Amino acid sequence: MRRRRYEGQGRAGEAEGVRAPQERQAAFGGARRGAQVVREGQDHAVQVPALDRVRARAAEDRHWEDPALQAPGTSVSDPRLVIERLVAAQNAHDIDAFVACFAPDYASEQPNWPSLAFTGSAQVRKNWSAIFGGVPDFRAALLDAAVAGSTVWAEVEWTGTKADGSRLHSRGVIIATVAHERIAAARLYVSGVAETTAGIDDAVKIMAGQR
């Protein structure tokens, strides 16, 4: 499993720093003129934007490939890029760009709320059009991410002010399967952050049915 920590994005609204694939490619082009690509057989890492970052990345993950290195027309190997694009679209409130992150037959599950499962990107458009309209200051943050094959685990935070004036504050994990640079399926474990003063002892008692 490959993991990337999004430093400095511990608060919602900071996901704007996530680079789109085009920006990453442009950064690579500039760095390539001043740095050497690190290669070991078929594995390689690219310095973006400094050689020391290349070496650190290569040491951290010797099998990661920067999409800027891939030939035109090939699919992006890192599913995190799709999640980064998704978060950028959320923060721009760009419904078309957001829906474009999903396959037409996208399958959504929320295991803690089984009745909320659905299929199709049309429902994604309906859902998020309502959210962007009802929460005009909606912000998303990508806090952390890990990848195994075509699956990405993304820790996210959503904040904003709802139409009724109440606060939206949700955190959790999305487990997404990516194919052809789009999310083909996802399981969402995202829920509201509890506003409570109860400590862990009380929570355990409630869970055990002792209160």
CATH number at residue 6: 3.10.450.50
What is the rounded CA–CA span in Å between residue 181 and residue 170?
Answer: 26
Among candidates 124, 83, 84, which has minimal Cα distance to 103? 124
Q: What does the buried/exposed string (b/e) look like for 110-132 if buried means 16 or more CB atoms within 10 Å of the residue's CB?
A: beeeeeeeeeebeebeeebeebb
Q: Does a structural domain hold residue 197?
A: no
pLDDT of residue 211: 75
* pLDDT tens sequence across 140-168: 999 999 999 999 999 999 999 999 999 99
Q: Does a structural domain hold residue 164?
A: yes
pLDDT of residue 4: 59
Among candidates 68, 4, 71, which has minimal Cα distance to 35? 68
Q: Does a structural domain hold residue 66?
A: yes
Q: Does a structural domain hold residue 92?
A: yes
pLDDT of residue 70: 38
Burial class (CB in 10 A: 0-12, 13-18, 19+), 48: buried
Q: Does a structural domain hold residue 201?
A: no
- Domain region containing 65: 2-192
Q: Does a structural domain hold residue 73?
A: yes
Number of domains in the chain: 1
pLDDT of residue 20: 53
Looking up tokens 């973006």 gives 48
* Low-confidence stretches of the chain (pLDDT beneath 70): 1-77
Q: Does a structural domain hold residue 168?
A: yes
Q: Does a structural domain hold residue 72?
A: yes
